[in-house]
Amino acid sequence: MKRTTTAVIVLLAGMLVSCGGGGDGDARSGSSGSDGDARTASRASAGMHIEESDPSVTLSGEWTQSSTEFGWSGGSARQSTAAGARASLAFSGTSVTWFGSRGKGMGIAMVSVDGGPAVEVDLFNIPNDEIHSPAFTVNGLSGGPHTLTIEVTGRANQGASGNAVVVDAFDVQGQIVTHVQQTNPEVTFTAGWDEAMGGPWSAGGVSNPPEPTQGAKMSQVPGARATLTFRGTSVSWIGYRGPDAGIARVQIDGGPMTDVDTFSPAAKVQEVVFTASGLADTSHTLTIDATGSRNPQSTSAMIFVDAFDLRGPGRRYQEWEPSIAYSGDWTPAAPGSTDCPAVPTCTAPRRNVNRVWSEGEAATSNSGGRAVFSFTGTSVSWISAAKSSLGTANVYLDGVFQRQVVLFRPFPIEAYQWEAFRADGLANGPHTLTIEHAGGNYIVVDAFDVRP
């Protein structure tokens, strides 16, 4: 279970820093199988995005191609349900992020660095299968060579319909990744857009009745516009490619327009159809216009807006990390307690896995809960949610009241991994950010982002 076991990897990272890092000979020499033998030894370095097919990734045991209906990074991913199957990444850097998949049919993996203590990562989530979002991140490593190993256990949460573990890609010492839904309050649509209900859309498959299940937005009306306002150095539009998809016109900050043809002979959902990178770390606007035009081979001019991935500098601290001290009423209980004392053999369902939270889980309180995050940096953000079932929180910085944040938003606004509060221009030293339940329904602590 992520909340109670991942702290092991934080301690492991600290040991690696103090010891100057560890070698990777044992982890890689233990690999076998046709995939591993066919690859040339290689090592990924800081700042690289690595596909599962890269020579720095070694696969052993039984692995197969993941479903072709999804828009995987680089066009493909590998998955396994076989206990003992391994994927190992050789890299040099102080952090690494594994991109896989979370969903109802996903299982449990054990993750380790340089052959050290393994951490259990449960990939079960209630929404539709989710790709692109980070499955697990390791921080605080020394800058030397390392090996990240993902081992399939063959086990799954008792609520899961399968036990698959997917390896799609890796970021070595990468940026913060935030997955933004089309229902986020920073995304607006003009007239001409309809709901694309059903299908394996990002964050779909769950709802709070009587509100309907969220899907994606679609339009083939010329001039129908979707607008995202965001801050970051990179933005990716996640939509759909297929034999019935049209041409869109995309623009960043009022600059040159780019035509994006989303036609493909094969249908792919949760596909990255457009990316803009190398942006200044400031506020930006992305616009997507349906043109009503289509590729001659397409049967429709339909454009789909499902979600967005944002990247920016800094480090994300998940809700389970020891730098966050909880008091009062929280679900799951404050880190340090456990819902499942028999880890790693316990199969009791985790809680708060019912939405597309950052790395799959979040903490909630609806009665006097208080979370104090201790950090060092010049900028901090509280990552939470906004929807119709949420309440109000008081926010304090270094013990000084900042403001009250209302997380309630009327349907159809439904935001996850949402920046509820941000403070910039801090002195570069130690600080505390306190989130305190102030009334109404529950509040959410999903993560905190810190910039140096």
68 vs 76: CA distance, rounded Å: 7
- pLDDT < 70: residue spans in the chain: 1-41, 333-351
Which candidate, 131, 124, 110, 135, places its Cα nearest to that of 161?
124
CA 354 to chain centroid, in Å, comes to: 14
- Give the gyration radius of the chain's Cα atoms: 21
Reported pTM: 0.88
Check residue 159 and give its pLDDT: 86
pLDDT confidence of residue 41: 57
Cα–Cα nearest to 130, from 168, 107, 102: 102
Neighbour tally for 147: CB within 10 Å: 24
E strand map for 254-399: 258-261, 268-276, 282-290, 303-305, 307-312, 315-318, 324-327, 363-365, 370-377, 379-386, 392-397
Q: What is the pLDDT of residues 318-364, one digit of tens each?
A: 999 999 999 999 987 544 333 433 333 333 334 578 899 999 999 99
| Residues with Cβ within 8 Å of residue 248, at least 6 apart in sequence | 259, 260, 262, 273, 274, 288, 289, 290, 291, 303
Q: Enter the CATH code of domain 2-175.
A: 2.60.120.260
pLDDT digits (tens, 9 = 90+) for 404-416: 999 999 999 999 9
Superfamily for domain range 179-312? Galactose-binding domain-like (2.60.120.260)
Provide the residue ranges of all domains of the chain, joining segments of one domain with +. 2-175, 179-312, 315-451
Grouping H, G, I as helix, E, B as strand and the rest as coil, residue 37 is helix
Integer Cα distance of 382 and 372 in angstroms: 11
Task: Express the helix, strand and coil content of the chain in percent, nearest 5 each.
Answer: 5, 50, 45
The answer to whether 179-312 and 315-451 have equal CATH topology is yes
Question: How many CB atoms neighbour CB 336 within 10 A?
Answer: 12
**C-alpha to C-alpha distance for 156 and 374, rounded to whole angstroms:** 34
H-only helix segments in 350-442: none
- What is the rounded CA–CA span in Å between residue 266 and residue 263? 9
| Fold category of 315-451 in CATH | Jelly Rolls (2.60.120)
